[in-house]
Amino acid sequence: MRDTKALVESSLLVALSVVLFLASHFLPVVGVLLSLFCPVPLVILGLKVPLKNAFMGTFVAFVLVTLFMGVLGGVLFVFGFALMGVMLGFFGHRFDKVSEILFYGFLVSLFSKLILMALVKLITGVNPFAIDPKAIMEAFNEAEALFSGSSKAFFETMRMQVEAMSKVMVYILPAILIAASFLDCVISYLISQKVAGRFKITSLPKVPPFGEWRFPKSTLFAFFIAFVLSFFDHSGNNIGVLYMLALNLKVISIMIFMVQGMATVWYILSKMSKHKIKPWVGVVVVAAVMFIPVLSVAVIMLGFADILIDLRAKIGR
C-alpha cells in the first residue's frame, strides 16, 4: 500500500512538472510566471523518493515533453529545469545547511546549462554563445520605438549603456552564465520551500533573512586579482585570455558586492522599522538599484565596505 501511494504521488509530481513546462511555453504572458514553478514538483520528488526513482520519473517526463515539443523541447526540459530540480531535492534531503544545498545546486545548475548549450548547438547548429551586437541594438531600437513618447534623454543614456554592454557581452558570457545559474538555483529553492511548507508536503531548511546574507572575504581577493589582470593581455580591440578572465572576475565580484550591499540596506531598513518589511519594499529597492546608476554604484560600494569591515556588525552594536 505504501509503495502504491508513493508511486501515485511520484506520477502526479511528474505530470504536474510536464503540465507546468508546456504551459510556460504555450501561454503568452502567464507562461513567464509559470516557468519559475517548473522545477518545484521535481524538487519535491527528489525530496520524497530515492534518487534512482526520481531520475526514472524525469525520464518519463522527458518522453512526454518530447511527444509534444520534439527532442529540443525535451532537452530543454531536462537540462533547463528537471536535473537541477531533482538534485536540489536530493541535496535538501541529504544536507542540513542551506549554504551547502545552494552551493551544490548551483554547480548542478551551471553544469546543466553548459550541457544544454552544447546540445542546442548540436541539434540546431546555432551557437548560443555567439552574440551579435547589431542584433542587440536592433532590439533596443524596437523597444525605443514602442515608447516613443518617453524621455529622449533617458533613452539616449540607455542607448550608450546598451551599446557599451553589447560590445563587452561576448567576453563576459561565463560571468553571465554563472550569475544566471546561481539566480535560477536560489529562486527555485525559495519557491520550492514556500510551496512544500504551505501544503505541508515536506520540509526544506529555511533560507536566512535577506538582511543576513553574507559573502566571504575571498571575494575581495578575486576582485583584486581581476584589477591586476586587467592591465595585461589587452591592446586596442585585441583581448587576450588574461583580460577576459579579469573581466569575468570583475563582473562576478561586482554582482556579489551589489547583492551584499542590498542585503546591508535591507538590514538597515529592518533595524529602522519595528515591523517586518513588506515584500513590495524589496521590489522597490531592487528596481531603484537596477535602474538608477547612482544608486547602483552606492550599493556596490556599500557591499564592498560591508565585506571589508563588516558594517552590519558595527550597526548592530
Residue 117: closest CA among 108, 130, 105: 130
Question: Quick check: 48 pLDDT over 80?
Answer: yes
DSSP codes joined into one string, 111-145: HHHHHHHHHHHHHH---TT---HHHHHHHHHHHHH
C-alpha cell at 79: 537540462
pTM: predicted TM-score of the whole model, two decimal places: 0.81
Question: Quick check: 234 pLDDT over 60?
Answer: no
Question: Quick check: 146 pLDDT over 80?
Answer: no
DSSP 3-state assignment of 290?
A: helix
Q: Calculate the CA 222 to chain-centre distance.
A: 21
Q: Calculate the CA 186 to chain-centre distance.
A: 7
pLDDT confidence of residue 37? 86
Cell 503540465 identifies what position?
A: 19
Work out the average pLDDT over 41-67. Answer: 88
pLDDT per position as a tens digit, 11-42: 888 888 888 888 888 877 777 788 888 888 88
Work out the average pLDDT over 213-235. Answer: 79
Residue 217: closest CA among 95, 89, 303: 303
pLDDT per position as a tens digit, 257-305: 998 988 888 888 777 766 666 666 767 777 777 777 788 888 889 889 8
CA distance 128 to 125: 9
pLDDT confidence of residue 200? 67
pLDDT confidence of residue 275? 62
Residue 87: closest CA among 219, 166, 213, 192: 192
Extract long-range pairs of 116-125: CB within 8 Å, 24+ residues apart. 116/75, 116/76, 116/79, 116/80, 119/75, 119/79, 120/72, 120/75, 123/71, 123/72, 123/75, 124/72
Work out the average pLDDT over 84-91. Answer: 90
Amino acid occupying residue 135: A
Residue 76 contacts by C-beta under 8 Å, 6 or more apart in sequence? 69, 116
CA distance 190 to 193: 5
Question: Quick check: 149 pLDDT over 60?
Answer: no
